[in-house]
Amino acid sequence: MFLHCPNKSIGWRAKVHVIPRDEVVRNVLLAQQPNKRSATTDELGGIAVFFTSDAAASITGTTIAADGGWTAH
């Protein structure tokens, strides 16, 4: 969700909205995020490990979103 320069985006929005950075994250960037947080590196790493395992051998030709519900809302 915040793939391009997240810290610059947060800082810019804080200045534009004249609110603290944590409020930008909570009330602007995550306002429509169902689980109200970004994925952690541990979660994304776990997904990568799963996809390289034998358990994922039959998963082909599909997209699996790891976005905390963003695409479902």
Q: What is the pLDDT along the chain (73 residues), one digit of tens a residue?
A: 444 555 568 888 889 889 999 898 888 778 888 888 888 999 999 999 999 999 999 999 898 888 888 888 7
The CA-atom distances, in angstroms, between 1 and each of 22, 46, 71 are 16, 19, 11
26-63: burial string, b at 16+ Cβ within 10 Å, e else: eebbbeebeeeebeeeeeeeeeeeeeeeeeeeeeeeee
Task: Locate the domains of the chain by residue range.
Answer: 6-67
pLDDT confidence of residue 41 = 93
What pLDDT shows up at residue 44? 93
**Residue 6: per-residue pLDDT:** 53
Q: What residue has token string 């009330």?
A: 27
pTM over 0.85: no
